[in-house]
Amino acid sequence: MVAHVALIILRRRCPAFPRSSSPEMTWTVYTNTGLLIGAIGLYAVLWTTFRMKKNGFAGEPLAQVLGANHIADPERAEHAKVV
């Protein structure tokens, strides 16, 4: 967002300034963005697996997610049932 604001300010201050949007630059931006998203995803998987000691690709039991008190309440038990 800050980059967008800076670009808008640049365009207003220097409207004749040449724009550099070459295919090489576009490829670099997409590559760097993909690497960053991949690194963050890998970090999240490793954190979940080794630090939290959970399988990130397995579901959690509904009773554990909602808590024992929530399912013990008869009014809320109907909504907590898994079909």
What CA–CA distance (Å, rounded) separates 63 from 70?
8
pLDDT band at 5 (very low <50, low <70, confident <90, very high): very high
pLDDT at 64: 78
pTM exceeding the 0.85 threshold for the entire prediction: no
Does the pLDDT value for residue 13 go beyond 60? yes
What CA–CA distance (Å, rounded) separates 74 from 79?
10
* Tens of pLDDT, residues 32-71: 999 999 999 999 999 999 999 988 888 888 777 777 665 5
Contact residues for 62 (Cβ-Cβ < 8 A; gap 6+): 71, 80, 82
